[in-house]
Amino acid sequence: MTAHGRLLIVGAGQAGVQTASSARDLGWRGPITLLGAEPHSPYARPPLSKAFLNGKATADSLALRTPEFYADHRIDLVRDEHVHSLDLAGDGTGSAVAASGRRWAFDRLVLATGAAPRRLPLEGADLDGVVVLRDLNDASVLAGRLHTADSLVVVGGGFVGLEVAAAAAAAGIRTTVLEIASSLMNRVVSPVTAEIVEKAHRACGIRVMTGVRPARFVDGAQGSVAAVELDNGIRLPASLVLIGVGASPRDALAAAAGLRCDNGIVVDDQSRASDGHTLAVGDCANLPDPSPTPGPAPRLRLESVDNAVEQARAAATTLMGSPQPYRSVPCFWSDQGSLKLQIAGLARPDDDIVVRAGKRPGQHTALRYRGTHLVSAECVNSPIDFLSVRRAIAAGTSLSREAAADTQVPLKKHLSAPVTTGRG
């Protein structure tokens, strides 16, 4: 198979679009078809929980590329087609069949099927007013309901839930956030950063309840939600409920085709699935940790724009027959009202923490160490620190904990002694 073949990309989100774009830029000469299940042109998802809700972004402004881009790059964008089966041959060729009956033959296949919002198997979960947020249609429904809601309960204290809570509180809606864990964002930030974020939300009038579990959603009248009842019996009024408890990879299509799946489509560091030919990128992929940090690379899924773009670029080199293993410093960000959280690198719960208080109220940087190695940073309203640490981790720059704790010297100046690190 050469770059003259037919390339089919199933999934028209950030990862799918980037794969198509990068493959063409690297010299793929054959037809490229990009299949999207939504009726919309490919769009950016992060603003859905922020700018789109407060009216600062529209469906048109979220477009990832212009219509002219697809035409100029000879990318056939097909919308509103849901692929329900794959016929894969041993050499990676085959065909994809949509629910409509349309069929696309391919010489090379990339799966960029993304993830779906998790639901809660609770009484009342299907009531009107209990919503999720993943795509543009979800965001449109949520935005409309926020105009009439007087009380919002957000189930889940992760990025999406807190971003929506901040937007709702700013609009004057009585807002409560429920988190089953003992702290917000417990899977992604340290307790000290979580505490700062929680204080900022409380200061904006948001009620935050941690260590609590919803038991059921209460029907008010005519099938609409009126309250959330907790397992301790407390009942919270709610004319609107957002379920924000994470997402599950859309890997059923791959599994049915015989590809190995385990919390996503299992791929190697060149984005190749278990058949050695099909590629998987973005939120649906279970991949080796791409971080340039010492030690073995555990398998994980990364749900971020940064990963979607960077993994797709690396995957395009695999398509071209000159694979470059995917190596990158994973990055995440979340805008929650006036609070901007940026994370560089991946920390583990047992990593040590060195805290650098900012010079201005609301600033904070938590550096995470694994042994003597700087592996991550959690930066609140500190974009310069974020950029400095991201570059330092990528370059293998050394920074002692003692130096890191010295806030009299800017972090950017501290990070000036490059050393070589690698997986051992």
Model pLDDT, residue 55 = 92
Model pLDDT, residue 413 = 86
Shared-domain flag, residues 398 and 306: no
Model pLDDT, residue 293 = 84
Model pLDDT, residue 152 = 98
Shared-domain flag, residues 277 and 355: no
State the average pLDDT for the chain: 94
Which residue carries 């990676």 as its tokens? Answer: 92
Q: Are 307 and 328 in contact (CB under 8 A)?
A: yes
Shared-domain flag, residues 217 and 256: no
Distance CA 43, CA 125 (A): 28
Tokens of 406: 């010295």
Shared-domain flag, residues 290 and 200: no
Q: How many structural domains is the chain composed of?
A: 3
Shared-domain flag, residues 215 and 201: yes
Shared-domain flag, residues 32 and 135: no
Q: Does the pLDDT value for residue 418 go beyond 70?
A: no
Model pLDDT, residue 297 = 84
115-131 pLDDT, tens per residue? 999 999 999 999 999 99
Final residue of a structural domain among 300, 319, 338? 319
Q: Does the pLDDT value for residue 419 go beyond 60?
A: no
Shared-domain flag, residues 84 and 155: no
Tokens of 102: 């349309």
Give domain status of residue 134, yes or no: yes
Give domain status of residue 324, yes or no: no
Final residue of a structural domain among 224, 245, 266? 245
Shared-domain flag, residues 277 and 226: no
Q: Does the pLDDT value for residue 180 go beyond 90?
A: yes
CATH no. for residue 68?
A: 3.50.50.60
Give domain status of residue 325, yes or no: no
CB count within 10 Å of CB 329 equals 22
Give domain status of residue 182, yes or no: yes
| DSSP 8-state assignment for residue 7 | E
pLDDT band for 221, please (50, 70, 90 cuts): confident
Give domain status of residue 264, yes or no: yes
Q: How far is CA 308 from the centre of its chain?
A: 8
Element (H, E) at 144: helix 136-146
13-to-6, 21, 43, 119, 278 alpha-carbon distances in Å: 20, 12, 7, 21, 18
Shared-domain flag, residues 211 and 309: no
Shared-domain flag, residues 174 and 200: yes
Provide mean pLDDT across the span 321-350: 96
Shared-domain flag, residues 368 and 284: no
Domain housing 70: 7-116+248-319
Shared-domain flag, residues 142 and 219: yes
Element (H, E) at 56: none
In DSSP notation, 286-342 reads: EEE-----SS---EE---SHHHHHHHHHHHHHHHTT---------EEEEEETTEEEE
Provide CB contacts within 8 A for 25, sequence distance 6+: 316
